[in-house]
Structures are given as structure tokens and as C-alpha cells.
Amino acid sequence: MRLSHALVVLSALTTACALFTGTEKEPASRSAQAATLDAEQLAAACHSLGLRPASDGHVLNDCDEAVRPDVYAAELGGAVGRAFLIVVRGGPDMLTCYGMTGMAIYLVKPEGEGFRTLYSGVGHLAIMPTSHNGARDILIGGPGFEFPVMHWNGSAYEYGRTVPDSEQLPESLN
């Protein structure tokens, strides 16, 4: 019985991830080259988020598992400009740690000597073609049939609207 439950969960995760696999080879809104923060900058960003350091560039996730954070550049335009998406994935306890999405996401922007958090949550992040207050909207994806689109309010991202999965969705950064 446990194996069949695990297969159902794996199938749901695969389906959720497939929703965010775009058909474009390199969409213009996706600037997710390899990490563009050096080790010192990444450590500073993780510190500003309250992520506890482990060893060898790892941090402790919400389930106290040592994981290496992934970093993606996000070109959001206007007042935001370039930001960075820091992804902290779950380890063996992924589902109990972050639910069906399996990861926490933090959208941060360098500011002064540190980093400012623009958005945090769980799921996949995609950059929408629409914008508000001079910055691109972001879609937060995960399992389900509708996904929230966050609008820039001038200082952070906040809920703006919901889009159904039947719409053409951009590819996620993570």
C-alpha cells in the first residue's frame, strides 16, 4: 500500500511540473542561466532570508535537512530590474516540508549591502508578459487548476489575480 501511495504522489508531482514546461526553447522572459551570485553574495542573500547555514554552501531547509539552494536570475524590468530567485528544495521529507511543490522560493533583489525580499512562498515562479507599476507580473505555480499572479505594488509583489491552467502559461524559472 505504501508503494502505491508513493507512486500516486510521484505522479502528481510529475504532472504539476509538466504544467510549467513551456514549448519555447529559450523564452525571452526566462533569464535562468546558472547562478549569477557568487558564493559570498549567495551567503548574504540566504542570511537576509533567515536561512540557516549548513556546510559546504548548503542551508538547512524548513525540515532541518541540508540542501544546496538553486539561484536563477529574473529580469523583471522597470523599477525592479534584475532580481534573483533562490529555491530551497526539500530533501527526503520534501512533501511534509513544502507540500506538493517540494520547494520554497524567495525572490530577492540586491539593495545596499544586503538583499530585499520581493516575494516568498512555495511553488514554481514564472515571469508573465503582463506588468503592473513598471515591473513584470509573476505567476506562482504548483498542483491545481488555477494559479495566482502577483502584481508589483511599488515595493513588493502581492496577489493580483488568478489564471486557469487552460491558458498558455510561461515556462517557470525553477
**What local confidence, expressed as pLDDT, does residue 30 receive?**
36
pTM strictly above 0.85:
no
**What local confidence, expressed as pLDDT, does residue 6 receive?**
35
Higher pLDDT, 143 or 146: 146
**Per-residue pLDDT tens digits for 106-121:** 999 999 889 999 999 9
Answer yes or no: is 23 within a domain: yes
Closest Cα partner for 170 from 141, 128, 142, 140?
128
**Per-residue pLDDT tens digits for 67-98:** 999 999 999 999 899 999 999 998 887 777 88
Domain span at residue 40 reads 2-164
Answer yes or no: is 171 within a domain: no
What single string gives the DSSP state of each residue in 17-72?
Answer: HHTT--S-SS-TT----S--S-HHHHHHHHHHTTPEE-STT-EE-TTS-EEPPEEE
Least confident window among 88-92, 155-159, 166-170:
88-92
Number of domains, the chain = 1
Answer yes or no: is 169 within a domain: no
